[in-house]
């Protein structure tokens, strides 16, 4: 990773007036962001993507000042101001002395646990918090500036221009690498939906302009840009383009609703929308939300795709950006096909094939609850899931009758999650096709999608895993499998081949490789 000289110099604590104990650099596709223990310094990259232009120091200074001015609307105590990055005698220092070579926006550093994205991931975002966020955004939108010039950005023609720009930037010859995360067919389907919606709803867009819903908005309201710390602080708005900030208020709230869907909390997205529209007294806004969520998901996919193509971004950041782009484009296509649909993911296969490890990895990556048959079975039996039992094949709590009971409860829990709007993972052997068909029917009834991943491994690999597992004490807090080599052999003899479109993950691959394979298959 090659960085500009002055950016490399800012990794030295001596470059800062407070001489911080540590410096951490993170990047977006448009910024270098330096984190000290108490402050954050953000420097704009010298890039020109057409929709933004930071190519000269003068332009970067102008937009730094705009960033501070605009963000004080919703986060007045967070932004300190703009400071020069100066060079003198070969030394680079924040605030001088010397000649300015760049500029940084200085902000207070927020505690990670206050960021709404982290709260959602940890299931700590209570409904009351989401309602409060909706009310704050509604209050901001009611007070936001509007006039004839701002309102012009809400016309169907202006929105069509934004959409077409997105499609050209992701489907043109210069974006060949981005085709790895969005196919030509998917792009065409999303484009067809957007063009058709704009054409058939021109009167609605005109009414939005007339009724004053086009305002100087935030432009980038998503979970990572909201802090809950006593009150609600919303930061990092769009400062570089009036065209993206001047928008329908429904588009602004749609970004946050889409991001809740992306984090697999459609239940909270619905709550946010209902509270917001009620606070705004907006009877037409709901008709536009799916369209704007489709648009916002596509924009997010494009932004992640641009980061994926940057040469100076680390391999780890590239991988994260690729997966995020893939999933956002998938989400955009879901909206284009009629609206958000959660997915039931079956993770099946013989014992010892790595199902649970893969289920846990996927659950963390896509924020999806993973429901394990091992846990459900022992809960039904009144036994701790962390306790190891000794039971023969089809005996005790592993009898055919109790196994049927276990799968009924497993599927019931999965269907319940789908009805909440949450994608879920069911981790079990699914040794009989009747169990799979039961899950498929439940997903259909709950109006959810359905995907099957089968884990496979050779006998020697499984025997080695079982032997090592039985020789070790159960890991604290983790469910325990009771499988033995003898039971596995019986299980294999009665295992019914899984039919239908499936993805096979082989234990010869690493967990990272299988996880990437699974995510690409689920969301491509």
| DSSP per-residue letters across 318-372 | HHHHHHHHHHHHHHHHHHHTTS---EEEEEE-STTSSHHHHHHHHHHHHT--EEE
Closest alpha carbon to 310 in 46, 5, 13: 46
* Residue 477 clears pLDDT 70, i.e. is over it: no
- How big is the CA angle at 485 (ends 482 and 491), to the nearest 5 degrees? 80
Here the tokens at position 200 are 């058939």
Q: Give the residue from 410, 102, 382, 115 showing the smallest Cα distance to 236.
A: 115
pLDDT(306) > 90? no
> What per-residue confidence (pLDDT) applies to 432?
95
pLDDT at 176 over 70: no
Mean pLDDT score across all residues of the chain: 93
- Residue 250: pLDDT band (50, 70, 90) is very high
Fold of 114-336: Aminoglycoside 3'-phosphotransferase; Chain: A, domain 2 (3.90.1200)
- Asked if 137 and 257 touch (Cβ cutoff 8 Å), the reply is no
Question: By the 8 A CB rule, do 369 and 363 touch?
Answer: yes
Q: Map residue 383 onto helix, strand or coil.
A: coil
pLDDT at 64: 98
Q: Cα–Cα distances in Å, from 61 out to 51, 103, 162, 393?
A: 17, 6, 26, 71
Local confidence band at 178 (pLDDT 50, 70, 90 cut-offs):
low
CATH 3.30.420.40 fits 343-523, yes or no: no
Q: In the chain, what percentage of residues exceed pLDDT 70?
A: 96
**What is the Cα Rg of the chain in Å?**
26
pLDDT at site 37: 96
Ranges for all domains in the chain classified under CATH 3.90.1200.10? 114-336
- In 337-357, which positions are buried (b, 16+ CB within 10 angstroms) versus exposed (e)? eeebebbbbbbbbbbbbbbbe
Omega of the bond prior to 97 within 30 degrees of 0, cis?
yes
Higher pLDDT, 109 or 391: 109
- The pLDDT assigned to 395 comes to 80
Contact between 238 and 198 (Cβ < 8 Å) = no
Q: Once rounded to an integer, what is the mean pLDDT over residues 383-404?
A: 81
Domain with CATH 3.40.50.300 in the chain: 343-523
Q: Which of 143-147, 374-378, 473-477 has the highest mean pLDDT?
A: 143-147
What are the counts of helices (DSSP H) followed by strands (DSSP E) for the chain? 20, 15
- Given this model, what pLDDT does residue 174 score? 44
For 182, residues 6+ apart whose C-beta sits below 8 A from its C-beta are: 170, 301, 305, 325, 326, 329
* Contacting residues for 117 by C-beta, under 8 A, at least 6 apart: 222, 223, 224, 226, 263
Task: Decide if pLDDT at 221 tops 80.
Answer: yes
């Amino acid at each position: 990773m090659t960085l500009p000289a002055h950016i490399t110099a800012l990794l030295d604590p001596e470059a800062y007036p407070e001489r911080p104990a540590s410096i951490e650099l993170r990047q977006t596709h448009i910024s270098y962001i330096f984190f000290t223990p108490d402050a954050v310094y953000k420097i704009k990259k010298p890039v020109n993507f057409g929709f933004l232009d930071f190519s000269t120091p003068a332009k970067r200074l102008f937009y730094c000042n705009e960033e501070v001015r605009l963000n004080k609307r919703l986060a007045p105590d967070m932004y300190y101001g703009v400071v020069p990055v100066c060079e003198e005698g070969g030394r680079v220092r924040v605030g001088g002395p010397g000649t300015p070579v760049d500029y940084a926006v200085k902000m207070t550093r927020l505690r990670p646990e206050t960021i709404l994205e982290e709260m959602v991931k940890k299931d700590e975002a209570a409904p009351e918090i989401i309602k409060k966020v909706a009310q704050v955004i509604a209050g901001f939108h009611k007070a936001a500036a509007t006039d004839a010039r701002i309102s012009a950005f809400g016309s169907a023609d202006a929105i069509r221009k934004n959409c077409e720009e997105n499609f050209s930037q992701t489907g043109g010859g210069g974006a060949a690498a981005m085709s790895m995360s969005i196919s030509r067919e998917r792009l065409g389907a999303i484009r067809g939906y957007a063009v058709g919606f704009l054409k058939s709803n021109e009167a609605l867009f005109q009414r939005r302009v007339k009724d004053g819903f086009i305002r100087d908005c935030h432009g980038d309201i998503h979970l990572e840009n909201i802090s809950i710390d006593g009150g609600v602080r919303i930061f990092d708005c769009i400062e570089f383009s009036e065209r993206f900030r001047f928008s329908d208020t429904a588009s602004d709230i749609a970004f946050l609703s889409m991001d809740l869907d992306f984090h697999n909390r459609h239940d909270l997205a619905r709550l946010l929308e209902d509270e917001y529209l009620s606070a705004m007294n907006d009877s037409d806004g709901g008709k536009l939300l799916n369209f704007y969520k489709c648009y916002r998901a596509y924009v997010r996919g494009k932004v992640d795709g641009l980061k994926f193509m940057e040469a100076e971004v680390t391999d780890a950041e590239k991988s994260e950006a690729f997966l995020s782009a893939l999933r956002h484009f998938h989400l955009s296509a879901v909206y284009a096909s009629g609206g958000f649909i959660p997915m039931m993911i079956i993770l099946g296969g013989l014992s010892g094939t790595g199902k649970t490890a893969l289920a846990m990895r996927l659950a963390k990556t896509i924020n999806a609850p993973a429901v394990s048959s091992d846990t459900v079975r022992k809960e039904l039996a009144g036994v701790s899931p962390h306790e190891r039992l000794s039971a023969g094949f089809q005996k005790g709590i592993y009898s055919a009758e109790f196994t049927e009971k276990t799968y009924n409860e497993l599927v019931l829990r999965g269907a319940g999650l789908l009805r909440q709007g949450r994608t879920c993972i069911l981790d079990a052997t699914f040794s009989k096709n009747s169990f799979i068909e039961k899950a498929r029917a439940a997903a259909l009834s709950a109006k959810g999608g359905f995907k099957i991943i089968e884990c496979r491994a050779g006998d020697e690999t499984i025997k080695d895993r079982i032997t090592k597992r039985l020789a070790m004490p159960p890991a604290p807090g983790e469910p325990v499998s009771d499988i033995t080599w003898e039971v596995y052999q019986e299980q294999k003899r009665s295992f019914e081949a899984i039919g239908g479109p499936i993805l096979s993950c082989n234990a010869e691959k690493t967990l990272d490789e299988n996880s990437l394979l699974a995510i690409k298959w689920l969301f491509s």
